[in-house]
Amino acid sequence: MKRILSVLAIIALGGTNLQAQQRSGKPLAEHVIVIGIDGLSVNGLLKANAPVMHRMIEEGAFKQNARTVLPSSSSSNWSAMILGAGPEITGITSNDWKPDAKHMTPVAVNKVGRSPSIYDIIRQQRPQAEQGVVFHWDDYGRLLQKEMVNHYEYAKTETEAAEKFADYITAKKPTFALLHFDHVDGAGHDKGHMTPEYLQAIAKADSLIGTVLKAIEKAGIKENTMVIIVADHGGINKGHGGESDEEINIPVIYYGKGVKKGYKIQQPVYQYDLAATIAFVFNLKVPYSWTSRPVKAAFTGFSEPENLNVGLN
């Protein structure tokens, strides 16, 4: 009994220390690595042979049914993650969006007329921070300003993307970096969601995530790194973009430094919350135009929102 009480006391102390650390202006983690899997559905993740991600769920915090923005297409959702808001605010309403074309004007704009991103505020508030992105979907690159990151690289295959990203991590130990895989979405469009080929594509992504985790360890930053696994949308049959549960519900995994272990997040989590969550980890101020809110419940020492069930009884 005394041992159990001692363990609980250590856990409580750890949570208190994290809260004090955050209040003091220190980051909850020194490094945040985001791995995005295009087209990864909740059912696909849970059914696929994905031991790495399943272990991350067991040892981290998991939201099984985070919600996309609409439409449940790639550009609107990948942009929401980094821009902290949905299409009605960012102006990125479809996959037809191009940086230099005339589209809906964003609610707030940065110095080049774009909606402010997590890359912008990291660069503004931590100008020496190393930031990078490696992307497998060639159109992902148009969603951010290349000059805002130190490393910007396209990869022709998912394997190449993981290898390039792993090399970048070991060489530069980035403060914030994002890796994008496109092959799971490709399998969904080509063969159909939840087909054996689709599930095999998820298994391949899982093995490549293992490659990235090994690079983090090799770089000597494992103890101070938070890893977040995200998806832009799910899918149904051979498509997505609609409003079915299969398309709009997506998994999110938080893992590593400062994250609760084996925790199932109760609060609603929206696609655009990724940006504010990263800002919260780094203790940065966020733009007023963002609708993004940090998913604090994922972190040790922080509880679910007090008003979580208001109006539901």
**260: domain CATH number?**
3.40.720.10
pTM: 0.92
Rg for the chain (alpha carbons), in Å? 19
User: Distance of CA 159 to CAs 31, 44, 51, 142, 185, Å?
Assistant: 23, 20, 18, 22, 15
**Residue 33, pLDDT score:** 98
Residue 303 lies in a domain: no
The whole-number average pLDDT for the span 15-28 is 68
What pLDDT score was predicted for residue 15?
Answer: 57
**What gap in Å lies between CA 174 and CA 168, rounded to an integer?**
8
pLDDT in tens, 238-248: 999 999 999 99
Confidence of residue 264 (pLDDT cuts 50, 70, 90): very high
pLDDT above 80 for 292: yes
pLDDT above 80: residue 162? yes
Within 10 A of 261 (CB to CB), how many other CB atoms are there?
11
Q: Between 16 and 312, whose confidence is greater?
A: 312
pLDDT score at 145: 84
Note the pLDDT of residue 77. 97
Percent of the chain scoring above 90 in pLDDT: 84
- Return the pLDDT at 23: 60
Q: Is residue 133 part of a domain?
A: yes
Residue 69 covered by a domain? yes
Domain count, the chain: 1
Residue 305 lies in a domain: no
Whether residue 169 is contained in a domain is answered as yes
Whether 311 maps to a domain, the answer reads: no
What confidence category does residue 182 fall into, taking pLDDT thresholds of 50, 70 and 90? very high
Q: State the pLDDT at residue 102.
A: 80
Q: Are 92 and 79 in contact (CB under 8 A)?
A: yes
pLDDT at 55 over 90: yes
More confident residue, 144 or 184: 184
Q: φ, ψ for residue 6 (rounded to 5)?
A: -65, -40
Range of the domain at 80: 28-298
293 belongs to a structural domain: yes
**From 53-57, 107-111, 127-131, 196-200, the region with the lowest mean pLDDT:** 107-111
**Is residue 166 in a domain?**
yes
User: Is the confidence at residue 4, as pLDDT, over 70?
Assistant: no
| pLDDT for 17 | 63
